[in-house]
Amino acid sequence: MAKSIKIRAKAKDDEVTVKALISHPMETGLRKDKKTDKLIPAHFIQEVTIEHNGKNRLTAHWGGTVSKNPYLACKFKGGKKGDAVKLSWTDNNGGSDSAEAKIK
Cα separation, 24 vs 39, whole angstroms: 18
pLDDT (average), residues 1-19: 90
> What CATH number is given to the structural domain containing 93?
2.60.40.10
Question: 29 lies in which domain range?
Answer: 5-102
Band (102; pLDDT cuts 50, 70, 90): very high
Q: State the amino acid at position 81 in one-letter form.
A: K
pLDDT beyond 70 at 31:
yes
pLDDT band at 37 (very low <50, low <70, confident <90, very high): very high
> By CB neighbour count within 10 A (0-12 exposed, 13-18 middle, 19+ buried), where does 54 fall?
exposed
Domains: count for the chain = 1
**Closest C-alpha among 11, 1, 97 to residue 49:** 97
Long-range contacts of 31-39 (CB under 8 A, 24+ apart): none
Could you give the percent of the chain with pLDDT greater than 90? 93
Contact 70, 26 (CB under 8 A): yes
pLDDT tens string 38-87? 999 999 999 999 999 989 999 999 999 999 999 999 999 999 999 999 99
> Residue 76 corresponds to which amino acid?
F
Q: Angle CA(92)–CA(95)–CA(99) in degrees, nearest 5?
A: 125
pLDDT at position 14: 87
